[in-house]
């Protein structure tokens, strides 16, 4: 009986020790053999105190404590510091105070907690709201948290979260989740790209059982002063930043350490206590006694992917990948894509696939190309991305592909567009093109390809997609190297691939392929003005459309510095711009439209009866030039331009209060106008005076002027001119009510 009890106790004790051992997720997943020790050295921060060793031993920095008082409750910290792995089993922070007698340990932890509580001001605290908890639960189980942490249905092998409810308030936890990289700079807890509201929902979910926020912990100033000294004395600053500048602890260098002594002895002494498993102790000992041959690039890559636990979501060369018991939490919104529509992509050969700049964008900033995945690629920050990009690019060397460049004369853009369209290879049946597609499958957007992919990889992939992912539904288009489309570029497969690349590489300028389903792309205007700088009817490429709140719009010609048109109602339909139809123009919507004549709006007429200058048909350097615009608080532009050396500021504002919608225009001239300078307000078949300085132009436009204008004949039509004498002109445009 007694013996049985003893074995039971021993088993429980062994279990307990194991449960408290530092947990390093990637290491639990991957069998790294002799390299496991190297990961432990960095994750346990050994070289923070024992300087030196290989690059791969670089210590994971501990959390930045300079604002810790604002986020973590002092009573919790006191408990945590007195027994880190007791309060948070699995923590990688060692027990630095373990060698102190119990009473003294409590005392030191208390003083430290009071000191830490002076670092930062606690913010507001509130209760988790039930609807936020539910939203948070959904997010937690879909955006990627459970790749590393346990889902609600508890899974072992999960990064521990500790007693969050005694540590955080909803607000302080949300603030942490929104920018974990700033606070825990090691990047092991990555930034999952959360909006503020999402962070609050997640925090509410994680604190769902919190009955009340932790009780306030006002720091005692005397204890805080002592705590500050103890912080340095116990070498906490080896792993944590606080804002104080402290000298690094002068401890035996890494290369002098004897395995089985000090921190690795398993005995209590004046060193940090790590509750290691036998395996962990053995791995660390092996690193210490092993010879320090530098890792190969492949080993370095594997170590880095394990350390940051990329392997929780990605596989590379057959290792890692989503674990089967977590697979159900990886979902997407396009079932037609199968596993490719829910699991993160493989990292096998990724260095040869992605351009260095994009690779860095993905790892550092979580750049995305697959909006259909619910799991997000987290941000790991530049410091972690930079070395990883260098290793992956150096390691995954591309196999060269034969590139056949299609010359300009063979119109590669046109050929590429034909191949992508529904009468060609119909890529748009499965890929979106500027976020729209023709088919049920909506894989990666074609517009992202040339930005992300190495050209060489693109060729090799298209040649034989199944070589890269055996089960992919992406077809090979050149069986036996031959093209079924013999009429495009004489059916040459290399040229066809090059044409595809060149066409896609045009980016925003690539005209839309044939076959995309067409819905109108209406640009709506809400409470701020909307500006579209593109081609408009009757204006060349340098058109500027402005939709004003309240439903009145104009187009301005920044080539000829003139108002080109005014219309009311809807602003524009933009498929012409974004889909490459209709000559790439924006199509004005709405009803009434008044067009103003081409040609200059300002001219010096030596004699008042001189004809208005005609627009110059030959393009040549012009004395007029557009200087851009400034925006007011509702984003209405004031156009700035120079006409024959004379500067103009041209501002429109909508007036929608009473009566018809109007545009009020103010032209300002910082310099004195030259003698004889005229402004042409309008030219139309009919221009009739209607009242004091008011004119009906054509069928429906009415213009009111701040000073008297002159109507004169111009061929079959009429012109309305103003002599410019002062520093400002005001005009007002509106449309006649319908008869």
**Under rule CB under 6 A, which residues in 453-472 are in contact with ligand HEC?**
453, 458, 461, 469, 472
Least distance in angstroms from the C-beta of 579 to ligand HEC: 18
By beta-carbon proximity to ligand HEC, the closer residue of 264 and 724 is 264
CA distance 150 to 159: 7
Q: How many residues bind ligand HEC (CB under 6 A)?
A: 111
Compute φ and ψ for 637, nearest 5 degrees: -85, 145
CA distance 575 to 519: 8
Q: Which of residues 395-424 bind ligand HEC (CB under 6 A)?
A: 419
Task: Answer yes or no whether residue 447 interacts with ligand HEC by CB under 6 A.
Answer: no
Which stretch, 156-164, 542-550, 607-615, 624-632, contacts ligand HEC (CB under 6 A)?
Answer: 156-164
Least distance in angstroms from the C-beta of 55 to ligand HEC: 17
By beta-carbon proximity to ligand HEC, the closer residue of 367 and 530 is 367
Least distance in angstroms from the C-beta of 212 to ligand HEC: 19
Least distance in angstroms from the C-beta of 15 to ligand HEC: 20
Report the residue from 217, 329, 425, 735 that binds ligand HEC according to the rule CB under 6 A.
425
Report the residue from 56, 82, 117, 145 that binds ligand HEC according to the rule CB under 6 A.
145
By beta-carbon proximity to ligand HEC, the closer residue of 410 and 469 is 469
Report the residue from 55, 179, 258, 357 that binds ligand HEC according to the rule CB under 6 A.
258
Task: Answer yes or no whether residue 695 interacts with ligand HEC by CB under 6 A.
Answer: no
Q: Which of residues 327-356 bind ligand HEC (CB under 6 A)?
A: 337, 340, 344-345, 347, 350, 353-354
Report how far apart, in Å, the C-alpha atoms of 690 and of each of 39, 137, 703, 737, 739 are.
86, 68, 9, 14, 16
Report how far apart, in Å, the C-alpha atoms of 288 and of each of 23, 51, 292, 375 are.
21, 13, 9, 39
Report the residue from 475, 538, 551, 676 that binds ligand HEC according to the rule CB under 6 A.
475
Least distance in angstroms from the C-beta of 82 to ligand HEC: 10
Q: Which tokens hold the place of 448?
A: 């992202």
By beta-carbon proximity to ligand HEC, the closer residue of 305 and 535 is 305
CA distance 592 to 578: 25
Least distance in angstroms from the C-beta of 100 to ligand HEC: 10
Instruction: Encode burial over 248-271: b for 16+ CB neighbours within 10 A, e otherwise.
Output: eeebeebeebebeebbbeeeeeeb
CA distance 172 to 67: 11
Which stretch, 364-372, 396-404, 544-552, 621-629, contacts ligand HEC (CB under 6 A)?
Answer: 364-372
Residue 611: half-sphere exposure toward Cβ, Cα within 13 Å: 7
By beta-carbon proximity to ligand HEC, the closer residue of 238 and 643 is 238
Least distance in angstroms from the C-beta of 660 to ligand HEC: 49
By beta-carbon proximity to ligand HEC, the closer residue of 498 and 719 is 498
Binding mask 113-132 for ligand HEC (x = CB under 6 A): ---x----------------
Based on its alpha-carbon atoms, the radius of gyration of the chain, rounded to whole angstroms, reads 35
Q: Which tokens hold the place of 300?
A: 């370095």
Q: Which of residues 264-283 bind ligand HEC (CB under 6 A)?
A: 264, 270-272, 274
Least distance in angstroms from the C-beta of 92 to ligand HEC: 4
Report the residue from 202, 224, 561, 572 that binds ligand HEC according to the rule CB under 6 A.
202
CA distance 728 to 725: 9
Report the residue from 39, 51, 56, 72 that binds ligand HEC according to the rule CB under 6 A.
72
Q: Which tokens hold the place of 453?
A: 């992919």
Least distance in angstroms from the C-beta of 257 to ligand HEC: 4
Q: Which of residues 158-197 bind ligand HEC (CB under 6 A)?
A: 159, 161-162, 164, 167, 177, 184, 186, 188-190, 192
CA distance 387 to 307: 13
Report the residue from 36, 46, 601, 643 that binds ligand HEC according to the rule CB under 6 A.
46
Closest CA relative to residue 96, chosen from 48, 64, 166: 48
Residue partners of 13: CB distance under 8 A and separation at least 6: none
Which stretch, 370-378, 480-488, 630-638, 706-714, contacts ligand HEC (CB under 6 A)?
Answer: 370-378
Q: Which tokens hold the place of 471?
A: 């089960």
By beta-carbon proximity to ligand HEC, the closer residue of 515 and 543 is 515
Q: How far is CA 216 from the centre of its chain?
A: 37
Task: Answer yes or no whether residue 380 interacts with ligand HEC by CB under 6 A.
Answer: yes
Report the residue from 79, 88, 141, 393 that binds ligand HEC according to the rule CB under 6 A.
88
To 5 degrees, how large is the angle CA 59–CA 63–CA 66? Answer: 125
Cβ atoms of residues 303 and 36 within 8 Å: no
- Torsion angle defined by CA atoms of residues 411, 412, 417 and 423, in that order, rounded to the nearest 10 degrees: 80
CA distance 30 to 312: 10
Report the residue from 89, 120, 262, 491 that binds ligand HEC according to the rule CB under 6 A.
262
Q: Which of residues 637-656 bind ligand HEC (CB under 6 A)?
A: none
- Torsion angle defined by CA atoms of residues 554, 559, 560 and 561, in that order, rounded to the nearest 10 degrees: 60
CA distance 317 to 352: 14
Residue partners of 386: CB distance under 8 A and separation at least 6: 360, 364
Which stretch, 371-379, 530-538, 672-680, 717-725, contacts ligand HEC (CB under 6 A)?
Answer: 371-379
In the block, which residue shows the tokens 């002027």?
705
In the block, which residue shows the tokens 């606080």?
242
Q: Which residue is nearest to ligand HEC (CB)?
A: 262
Q: Which of residues 49-68 bind ligand HEC (CB under 6 A)?
A: 49-50, 62-63, 65, 68
Closest CA relative to residue 143, chosen from 331, 328, 368: 331
Closest CA relative to residue 629, chosen from 653, 651, 598: 651
Q: Which of residues 206-235 bind ligand HEC (CB under 6 A)?
A: 231, 234-235
Report the residue from 36, 39, 119, 308 that binds ligand HEC according to the rule CB under 6 A.
308
Task: Answer yes or no whether residue 257 interacts with ligand HEC by CB under 6 A.
Answer: yes
């Amino acid at each position: 009986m007694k013996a049985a009890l003893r074995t039971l106790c021993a088993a429980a004790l062994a279990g307990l020790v194991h449960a408290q051992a530092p947990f390093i997720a990637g290491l639990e997943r991957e069998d790294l053999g002799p390299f496991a020790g190297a990961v432990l050295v960095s994750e346990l921060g050994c070289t923070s105190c024992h300087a030196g060793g290989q690059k791969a031993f670089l210590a994971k920095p501990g959390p930045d404590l300079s604002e810790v008082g604002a986020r973590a409750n002092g009573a919790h910290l006191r408990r945590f510091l007195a027994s880190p792995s007791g309060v948070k089993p699995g923590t990688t922070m060692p027990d630095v105070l373990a060698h102190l007698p119990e009473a003294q340990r409590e005392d030191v932890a208390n003083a430290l907690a009071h000191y830490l509580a002076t670092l930062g001001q606690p913010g507001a605290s509130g209760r988790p709201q039930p609807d936020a908890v539910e939203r948070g639960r959904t997010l937690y189980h879909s955006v990627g948290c459970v790749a590393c942490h346990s889902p609600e249905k508890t899974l072992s092998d999960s990064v521990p979260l500790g007693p969050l409810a005694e540590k955080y308030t909803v607000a302080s936890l949300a603030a942490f989740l929104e920018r974990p990289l700033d606070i825990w700079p090691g990047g092991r807890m990555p930034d999952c790209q959360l909006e503020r509201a999402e962070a609050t929902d997640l925090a509410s979910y994680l604190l769902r059982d919190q009955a009340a926020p932790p009780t306030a912990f006002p720091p005692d100033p005397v204890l805080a002063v002592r705590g500050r000294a103890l912080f340095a004395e116990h070498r906490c600053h080896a792993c944590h930043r606080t804002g104080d500048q402290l000298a690094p602890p002068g401890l035996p260098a890494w290369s002098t350490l004897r395995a089985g002594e000090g921190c690795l002895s398993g005995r209590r002494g004046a060193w940090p206590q790590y509750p290691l498993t036998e395996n962990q102790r053995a791995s660390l000992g092996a690193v210490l006694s092993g010879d320090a041959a530098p890792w190969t690039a492949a080993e370095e890559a594997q170590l880095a992917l394990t350390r940051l636990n990329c392997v929780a979501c990605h596989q590379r060369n057959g290792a890692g990948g989503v674990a089967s018991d977590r697979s159900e939490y990886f979902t997407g919104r396009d079932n037609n894509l199968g596993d490719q529509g829910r699991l993160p992509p493989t990292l096998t050969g990724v260095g040869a696939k992605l351009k260095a700049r994009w690779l860095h964008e993905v790892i550092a900033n979580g750049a995305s190309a697959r909006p259909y995945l619910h799991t997000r690629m987290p941000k790991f920050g530049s410091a972690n991305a930079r070395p990883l990009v260098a290793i992956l690019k150096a390691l995954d060397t591309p196999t060269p592909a034969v590139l056949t460049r299609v010359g300009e004369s063979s119109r590669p853009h046109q050929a590429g567009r034909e191949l992508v369209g529904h009468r060609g290879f119909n890529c748009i049946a499965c890929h979106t093109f500027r976020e729209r597609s023709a088919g049920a499958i909506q894989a990666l957007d074609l517009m992202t390809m040339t930005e992300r992919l190495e050209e060489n990889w693109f060729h090799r992939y298209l040649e034989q997609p199944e070589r890269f992912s055996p089960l992919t539904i992406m077809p090979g288009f050149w069986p036996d190297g031959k093209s079924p489309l013999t009429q495009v570029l004489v059916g040459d497969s290399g040229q066809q691939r090059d044409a595809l690349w060149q066409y896609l590489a045009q980016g925003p300028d690539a005209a839309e392929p044939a076959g995309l389903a067409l819905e109108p792309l209406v640009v709506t205007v809400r409470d701020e003005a909307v500006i579209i700088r593109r081609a408009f009817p009757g204006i060349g490429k340098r058109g500027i459309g402005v939709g004003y709140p309240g439903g009145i719009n104009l187009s301005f010609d920044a080539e000829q510095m003139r108002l080109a048109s005014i219309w009311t109602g809807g602003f524009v339909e933009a498929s012409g711009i974004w889909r490459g139809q209709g000559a790439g123009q924006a199509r004005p919507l709405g009803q009434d439209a008044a067009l103003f004549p081409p040609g200059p709006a300002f001219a010096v007429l030596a004699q008042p009866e001189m004809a208005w200058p005609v627009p110059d048909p030959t393009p040549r350097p012009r004395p007029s030039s557009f200087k851009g615009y400034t925006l007011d608080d509702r984003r209405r532009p004031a156009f700035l331009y120079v006409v024959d050396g004379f500067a103009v500021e041209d501002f429109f504002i909508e007036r929608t209060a009473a009566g018809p919608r109007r545009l009020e225009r103010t032209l300002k001239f910082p310099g004195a106008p030259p003698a004889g300078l005229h402004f042409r307000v309008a030219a139309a078949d009919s221009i009739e005076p209607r009242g004091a300085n008011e004119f009906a132009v054509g069928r429906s436009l009415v213009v009111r002027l701040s000073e008297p204008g002159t109507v004169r004949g111009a061929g079959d039509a009429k012109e309305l001119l103003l002599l410019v004498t002062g520093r400002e002109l005001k005009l007002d445009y509106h449309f006649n009510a319908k008869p």
